[in-house]
Amino acid sequence: MQHTAPANQAALTDRMKAKIAEIDAVAHEIPGVIIIHSNSGMGVEYMSQRGLDMLGVTLEELIAMGPAYYDRFFNAEEAKDYVPKIIGALERNDHLEWVTFFQQVRTLPDHEFTWYASSTKIFMRDDQGNPVLNITIAVPLDLAHHNTTKVDRLQKENEFLRNNYSKFSKLTDRERDILKLTALGKSSNEVAETLFISTATVDTHRKNIKKKLGINSSYELAQYAMAFDLI
């Protein structure tokens, strides 16, 4: 019995290597960079040669970096947005779910960041059905062409969400309802009729909303409503 766990671990390690080898065999045909992480510590287990060439490292060097890999190559501020989403997907362990996000990567500390559109999903599970590997495909965005405006807009939206989430989180459910209806152009009377409250109560809520968010205009109200998916 003492040798059961090591034997099982050895078998799992062999399966992981075989699974990664399947990807490595076709990685050169994929239009992007492939990264495979271990869900135990989120260390890098594999990166396609295209990605290694871009970063100027070998796979052995990348693996040896451990957590320093993330600090060296990625924008930590952007990571605050997408890393929790990846962790959530791993915890839900749904074989149909993947997470798509934008991330910024740079090869050296003094270089500019490059935008990538990336998608991550669980790649392999152990015998108990627990995730052991996840796979990411990252595609560099060509900002010299037509998608520049779209990427810039998405970047600004993500920045707005990060910068204003703490203020938005202070709103009550009722205040969010009123924010939504106000952003849709409803008058105080119309909001009151919809929510079965008095117009005076609506006006009080509106004042509180503006105070909590630190805004004054209807445009700013609409900006919050759109950014936080109320409309």
Task: State residue 151's pLDDT score.
Answer: 65
**DSSP H or E stretch at residue 80:** helix 76-92
Task: State residue 144's pLDDT score.
Answer: 57
- pLDDT tens, position by position, 160-218: 888 888 899 999 999 999 999 998 888 999 999 999 999 999 999 999 999 999 998 88
Task: State residue 120's pLDDT score.
Answer: 96
CB 137 within 8 A of CB 32: yes
CB 122 within 8 A of CB 95: yes
pTM of the complete model: 0.65
Q: Is the pLDDT of residue 150 over 80?
A: no
Q: Is the pLDDT of residue 95 over 60?
A: yes
Q: Is the pLDDT of residue 65 over 80?
A: yes
CB 29 within 8 A of CB 137: no
Token duo for residue 189: 């009377």
Please name the residue that has the structure tokens 């993330």.
70
Spatial separation of the C-alpha atoms in residues 39 and 45, rounded to whole Å? 10
Mean pLDDT over residues 68-78, rounded?
Answer: 86
Task: State residue 28's pLDDT score.
Answer: 94
Q: Is the pLDDT of residue 130 over 80?
A: yes
Q: What's the whole-number average pLDDT of the chain? A: 88
